[in-house]
A and B are shown apart, each in its own frame.
Chain A
């Protein structure tokens, strides 16, 4: 990128490079507030499309409800979509939290994009409600991490619905923390909107922004709280993945005792979260009119993250695969056969190729990473890969017929035969589409309420960067507080 002159920004270069080509904070505020105040046709059509998909999903859901809740198998795709939203949308705010804690400047326009996804966390909460009926209680012969075991005098006192209770509590707190994070980080922007916007927006932002006037004390408090809420969100996210992957997956398949899997589930979700944010960034750049903010630097930095997390995908997968495969225990081999090479092999291969092989081969080139189309296409691949990976795990686990096999023998029971794959029916397809549409709808609506690019973080960047002559060249001086 060409060097900046101290006198003003250069119109020709503003599309690329790291730092937004505005010289004064006022310019930034004006730009962002106007952009946000305008209701564009693209946004409206997006809402319409997402709403249509959601309606389809509701139709699919109603069709499923007719099948009743006693047969877990018909709900397999629903469970998978719940996990998919949890994996993508709920993990996306991590992209705001981690770089903010690491004080990386490139994250400034990205963090709000990521945080807004916690609005979709509410949607995942809605999705979870029916699952409370579908999930088998512990009396079904299934074990839980809460050690339900009827022989044992202590653990037999554990409530039969304890997994439900734990998971509900964790999901609620995750959603609450997400909203709290969003609200906290939006507070200075809401205050700005209070000052600069008009109409209902001003009213609503006035109510939400509290008494924010931007005193040093308030700022310090804000940073402090965002740090704590962010850390808590991360912990809760890991915990939710831990609960979901054990109670929704492992306890349903006999012999599947893979201690790494909860962490794999969480790590995969971070990867999918990054992909979600990249894709959102792309849409905001392309259709939202924010091309000044989502520049090559954001895409570059995010694609590095995506690349690293794709490598991590393989490492986590291989770590558990190697132990199961090498050990040759029949029970573990049966699990591998069921989940990887058996009925769900195509889904596994699709997940493996899209989540790991393609990102590895494509994103190892810096030219791809440092572009707009490269990371975007790769995030689509990663999201599709995550979709297939979740499909083969959740659908497989929920379609496994005999949960009760677990009860007697302390040794894991190998499968006698590998059940066939559970193919999606029409309601399942509708549910898949509807859930995706619903999450997008929630996002679009939330983006209407709160600016999708954080204004105060842009302003802050203005303070921390400085162009300065240095010997015969000009350099950028970047401040790092703390």
Chain B
């Protein structure tokens, strides 16, 4: 392809390690700012622990609010990592190469952020460890019937799996950094981390096998995690709008929608911040844009079916809830914003090739999607609880308090900080994968047309 840039190995090393071995100007500033946000968030959380959950905007009956919304959101974001890298790796899509690590690392940090939201949410976080099986002296076990036990188990499995996944793919790159790092400790630390990588054929083979195995094993976990998150809502019969069988696939596809968007967003950011124009090419954004059209449309169909069935029940609480969501302020405005930002603005944009190939516009549209998907979770959770239902004696809404806003901002800062720190210490674009990509890249001439091709081993 015309836009494909063939780079030498040295150039790849130089470009991708510049951030790791050097220090861009903005880096400290950004880290400082994020730390400040995190500090205020933690301070707010400390205040919440000391005073009780009364400092949040939660009330009866809106007992779940920003934290759970945020939890679902981050779990959703985390899904793109595995989705992009495992599926594309298994299907051997060439364009995945520079994208995978961004996605995987985002998975890890957003999973951590999601887990921390559970901590913010519960009334007595210092007893949170009771959901894990430890308490044998009292003869008490956690209640494995509860989705809140399935949740942490699945999320922890996913976190461990995806960390391993990232790590396995990172080993050859750490070795590259090890060989180049200066100073007293850095080479030693990188040396330990890369597990004695020397790049022998056997090591490469093992690394490749491990990568494929982990991809295949992590995929079912990835599906299970968000299904389980959706069952936090769907299995409950107490809340009308939640008891719907479509929730598991609907959440998964929504998660992929928001997650892939987040990947595009972070790709654009990484491209600008670390000057990776040679690696994250317009056709990567193009590929992600096309993927997003499919994902967004599928997601919208699920959304449509969910709504149709909600109306189809003709149950008065269900109808009242939908009315609340669509026709009553403030949910009305949020709903409008949600529809526009998550589907009706970005998808028509992506239909144009010029938009898909422009990182700036992709950045903009994917930010919109993420705003929309955050609102989607909010609109599922809060109106569902605030609805007028039988025996509901307290009518009212929910307004997040400053504490909740600070804590939610903290999770965003946390993920951003995690990504920043990671990209400072490890190459954010897989060096070995890029080099491999350069090796297997070929072109075939058919008549006057030149078609991109890739080298496969003879089967």
Chain A CB within 8 A of B227 CB: yes
Given known contacts A259-B305, A464-B453, A323 and B312 CB-to-CB distance under 8 angstroms: no
Closest to A406 in B: B314
Q: Across the interface, which residues of B come within 8 angstroms of A324, CB to CB?
A: 245
Query: Which secondary structure dominates where chain A touches chain B?
Result: mixed
Within 8 A of B (CB), among A451-482: 463-464, 466-468, 470, 473-481
A259 partner, pick from B245, B444, B453, B454, beta carbons under 8 A:
B245
Q: Which residues of B contact A42 (CB under 8 A)?
A: none
Say whether A145 faces chain B, with CB atoms less than 8 Å apart. yes
**Residues of A contacting B3 in the complex (Cβ-Cβ under 8 angstroms):** none
Q: Are A147 and B312 in contact (CB under 8 A)?
A: yes
CB of A357 within 8 Å of the partner chain: no
- Known contacts A102-B91, A147-B312, A261-B245; decide if A1 and B458 are in contact (CB<8 Å): yes
Nearest-neighbour CB distance to chain B for A327, whole angstroms, equals 4
Closest CB of chain A to B33's CB: distance in Å? Answer: 42
* Interface residue tally on B, bucketed by range: 35 or more
Mark contacts of B211-248 with chain A using CB atoms, 8 A cut-off: 1 yes-contact digit, 0 otherwise: 00000000010010001000100111100000111111
B453 contact set on A, CB distance < 8 A = 464, 466, 477-480
The answer to whether A263 touches B305, judged by C-beta atoms less than 8 angstroms apart, is yes
The answer for the CA separation of A4 and B458 in the assembled complex, in Å, is 9
In the complex, the answer to whether A479 meets B246 with C-beta atoms within 8 Å is no
What chain A residues lie within 8 Å of B456 (beta carbons)?
475-478
A259→B309 contact, CB < 8 A: yes
- B451 interface hit (Cβ, 8 Å): yes
Question: Are B459 and A479 within 8 A (Cβ)?
Answer: no
- The CA-CA distance from A476 to B457 in the complex, in Å, is 6
Q: Cβ of B32 < 8 Å from any Cβ of A? A: no
Shortest distance between the CB of A83 and any CB in chain B (Å): 19
Chain B residues whose C-beta falls within 8 Å of the C-beta of A311 in the assembled complex: 220
Q: Which A residues from 302 to 323 make CB contacts under 8 A with B?
A: 311, 315-316, 319-320, 322-323
CB nearest neighbor in A for B298: A238
Decide: B223 and A315 in contact? CB cutoff 8 A.
Answer: yes
B140 at the interface (CB under 8 A from A): no
Residues of B contacting A259 in the complex (Cβ-Cβ under 8 angstroms): 244-246, 305-306, 308-310
Min Cβ gap B300→A in Å is 12
- With a cutoff of 8 Å between Cβ atoms, the chain B residues found around residue A473 in the complex are 457-458
B454 touching A257, Cβ below 8 Å: no
Interface residues of A in 1-45 (CB under 8 A from B): 1, 3-4, 17-18
Shortest CB-to-CB span from B24 to chain A, Å, is: 35
Q: A477 near B444 (CB under 8 angstroms)?
A: yes
Chain B CB within 8 A of A149 CB: yes
Residue on B nearest A4 in the bound complex, by CB: B458
CB within 8 Å of A: which B230-269 residues? 231, 234-237, 243-249
Q: How far is the CB of B452 from chain A (nearest CB, A)?
A: 6
Given the interface contacts A145-B312, A263-B305, A480-B452, does A323 sit within 8 Å of B459 by beta carbon?
A: no
> Which chain A residue lies CB-closest to B309?
A259
Closest-CB distance, A143 to chain B (whole angstroms): 7
Give the distance to chain B from A345, nearest Cβ to Cβ, in Å. 20
B310: nearest chain-A partner, CB-CB: A259
Contact with B along A94-131 (1 / 0, CB 8 A): 00000000100000000000000000000000000000
Contacts of A157 in B (CB 8 A): none
Residue from A1, A322, A410, A476 with most neighbouring chain B CB atoms (10 Å) = A322
Query: Smallest CB–CB gap between B391 and chain A, Å?
Result: 15
Query: In the complex, what residues of B have CB within 8 A of residue A470's CB?
Result: 455
Decide if A365 is an interface residue (CB 8 Å cutoff).
no
Chain A nearest CB from B245 CB (Å) reads 4
- Indicate whether A478 sits within 8 Å of B245 (C-beta atoms), given known contacts A1-B459, A259-B305, A410-B315: no
Best-buried of A259, A262, A326, A411 by chain B (most CB within 10 Å): A259
List residues of chain B with CB within 8 A of the CB of A143: 312, 314
Say whether, besides A143-B312, A323-B235, A327-B237, A238 and B455 are in contact (CB < 8 Å).
Answer: no
- Considering only residues 245-296 of chain B, those with a C-beta below 8 Å from chain A are 245-249
Which residues of the partner chain B approach A258 to less than 8 Å between Cβ atoms?
Answer: 245
Contact B246 A260 (CB under 8 A): yes
Cα distance, A3 to B459, chains bound together (Å)? 8
| Other-chain residue from B310, B311, B444 in contact with A479 (beta carbon distance below 8 A) | B444
Contacts A327-B237, A478-B453 given; indicate if A260 touches B245 (C-beta within 8 A): yes
Does chain A have a CB within 8 A of B94? Answer: yes
* Nearest neighbor of B455 in chain A, beta-carbon distance: A475
Quick check: is B316 within 8 A (CB to CB) of the other chain?
yes
Chain B residues within 8 Å of A316, by CB: 249
Q: Using CB atoms, name the residue of chain B closest to A144.
A: B312
Shortest Cβ distance from A261 into B: residue: B245
- A189 touches B (CB below 8 Å): no
Query: B248: shortest Cβ distance to chain A, in Å?
Result: 4
Q: Would you call B23 an interface residue if the criterion is a C-beta within 8 Å of the partner chain's C-beta atoms?
A: no
Interface check B135, CB cutoff 8 A: no
Name the B residues within 8 Å of A323 (CB-CB).
231, 234-235, 243-245, 247
Contact B459 A463 (CB under 8 A): no
Find chain B residues with CB under 8 A from A149 CB.
314
- The answer to whether A242 has its CB under 8 Å from any CB of chain B is yes
Contacting residues of chain B (90-121) with chain A, CB-CB under 8 angstroms: 91, 94
Contact mask for chain B residues 421-457; partner A; CB cutoff 8 A; 1 contact, 0 none:
0000000000000000000001010100001111111
B231 adjacent to A322 (CB under 8 Å): yes
- Interface membership of B50, Cβ < 8 A: no
Contacts A466-B453, A477-B442, A479-B451 given; indicate if A319 touches B227 (C-beta within 8 A). Answer: yes
Please determine whether B459 and A18 come into contact, CB atoms closer than 8 angstroms. Answer: yes
* B458 near A475: Cβ-Cβ < 8 Å: yes
Which residues on A sit within 8 Å (CB–CB) of B243? 323, 327, 329
A328 within 8 Å of B (CB atoms): yes
Asked if B312 contacts A326 (CB within 8 A), the reply is no
Taking a contact as CB atoms closer than 8 A, the residue among B237, B248, B444, B446 that contacts A329 in the complex is B237
How far apart are the CA atoms of A467 and B302 in the complex, in Å?
45
Residues of B with C-beta under 8 A to A315? 223, 227, 248-249
Residue A297 interfacial (CB < 8 Å)? yes
B301 part of interface (Cβ distance < 8 Å): yes
Given contacts A323-B247, A327-B236, A410-B315, is CB(A481)–CB(B455) below 8 Å? no
**Is A319's CB under 8 angstroms from B452's CB?**
no
B313 on the A face (CB < 8 A): yes
Closest chain B CB from A12 CB (angstroms) = 16
What's the minimum C-beta distance from A253 to chain B, rounded to whole angstroms? 13
Minimum CB–CB distance for A370 against chain B, Å? 11
CB of A326 within 8 A of CB of B94, answer no
Q: Let me know if A410 and B446 touch, CB within 8 A.
A: no
Contacts A1-B459, A323-B245, A477-B444: A238 and B301 contacting too (C-beta < 8 A)?
yes
Closest-CB distance, A200 to chain B (whole angstroms)? 35
Contact B244 A476 (CB under 8 A): no
Instruction: Please state if A481 and B223 are interface contacts (CB–CB under 8 Å).
Output: no
Chain A residues with CB under 8 Å of B310's CB are 259
Residues of B close to A467: CB separation below 8 A: 458
List A contacts of B306 (CB < 8 A): 259
B458, A478: Cβ atoms closer than 8 Å: no
Nearest CB of chain B from residue A169's CB, rounded to whole Å: 18
Q: Which residues of B contact A326 (CB under 8 A)?
A: 231, 235
Least CB distance, B153 to chain A, in whole angstroms: 16
Assess A3 versus B91: contact at CB under 8 Å? Given A147-B312, A319-B249, A479-B453: no
The 9 closest A-B pairs by CB, nearest first: A259-B309, A320-B245, A319-B248, A479-B453, A259-B246, A326-B235, A479-B444, A260-B245, A479-B451
Name 6 A/B residue pairs within 8 A (Cβ), A-sorted: A147-B312, A259-B309, A324-B245, A326-B235, A327-B235, A480-B454
Other A-B contacts than A4-B458, A258-B245, A259-B309, 8 sampled, CB-CB below 8 A, are: A263-B305, A315-B223, A319-B245, A320-B246, A323-B234, A466-B444, A476-B455, A480-B453
Q: A residues bordering B, Cβ < 8 Å?
A: 1, 3-4, 17-18, 102, 143, 145, 147, 149, 238, 242, 257-263, 297, 311, 315-316, 319-320, 322-324, 326-329, 410-412, 463-464, 466-468, 470, 473-481
